[in-house]
Amino acid sequence: MTTSHYIAGRWVEGLGSDCITVNDPSLGQPFAELMAASVAQVDQAVAAAREALPAWKQVSASARARYLRGFADQLGQRREALIALQMRNNGKPRHEAEIDLDDAVATFVYYADLAEQLPQKNCDVPLAAPGFTARTRLEPVGVVGLIVPWNFPLVTSAWKLAPALAAGCTVVLKPSEVTPLIEQAYGQIAETLGLPAGVLNIVNGKAETGAALSSHSGLDKLSFTGSNSVGSQVMRSAAAQCRPVTLELGGKSAIVVFDDCDVDQAVEWIVAGFTWNAGQMCSATSRLLVQEGIADALLPRLQQALEQLRVGNPSSAEVDMGPLTSQAQWLKVASYFATAREEGLRCLAGGKALDREGWFVSPTLYTDVPVDSRLWTEEIFGPVLCARRFSTEAQAIAEANDSRFGLVATVCSADLERAERVADALEVGHVWINSVQAVFVETSWGGNKGSGIGRGLGPWGLSGYLSVKHVTRCLG
């Protein structure tokens, strides 16, 4: 695959020095290679977006909405191929890959609707002072760089790309080098729809490509989803340009289970919260706080559920959990298993890599984990759950909030007044009550503390790509 970059409306060969190897994590084997974009090609992509911006800004909101609906329709037409690629390159079970595709489609439809409402946002502003009129005008931020991760390709890019295009921005998208193939669909769809050249550009590469994009003086905004270590580098690059950023970073989220819960229902919510996508989620609720009155009944039932979880190759069997997406992540999770042994943590389930081809690990449960354990405080990005008991509501809130992260949380209780009260007290960006992690495009996404800056999804996602201009006129 040589023509792997979409720049100024054309597919071009990568001229960078890095060769990107694309792997099937269920087998631990490569199945494609492509050459990274060079720094000069990143320059070309930004220049193409800059050149396309004036005309794209003038395209009517209704016309932009038609393009967005076209993306949604075309994703649907490519449904089976994209699901198969998610399964092969990410190791996602089919039911997870299907939800990813549906999520991306819904995102483009939602922002098409919001794009059509944008003209109504340009309105007169009442003034207390006589002799003046004022009006508000919403304008696109400009050329934006979008850097997306490997755990939810296609989805995270839709969450960024759809609102950016709806706002009238032009885009340079950099997918992860771990999963570079599925975002190619967006370039193919742009061609099919006749999206003006330069409005969407896609450059693939490793750290060199990402650094070239994040530090580029031709960008007006950066939106990054990924690790805190890389996010801090992106933020430093943005600071040098005094450029706005949106960052969606890591998490070490809590799930709080009170003793009035149905045990089987609580187990379902707990398991889904840390084994979906093999735990490779910034939102994984990997810290379990369980009230003392239910702990002795819940923990053995949770252990049993994890031992019964079907782990395997999504292409060869119906499975509940697939492999970790990369060998690097597999080695990282294995290192935490070693740390748990060094710390003497009590392991009720899992705690090991599986002895088979591919990058599989067992879903894992540690109990009575100290608050100073690395496994309690650090983001593992794998199917590893650490549990602690609590006695009072106040203790649960304090321990849930005792984290440098603040992305999400889940509260499980039959007492809905208490559940709502605890949800309001948690220092996070999104809380689920008595639910799996259902994410809707209409709600916001983002976190507090070290989990990032800004919000995606909902109207907040669109506003992140709009600038506000006020025009004040003297009537005298």
399 classed as catalytic: no
| 96, 177, 248, 379: the active-site residue | 248
| 282, 379, 386, 412: the active-site residue | 282
Which residue bears the tokens 């100073």?
372
177 classed as catalytic: no
Q: Catalytic residues, which ones? A: 248, 282
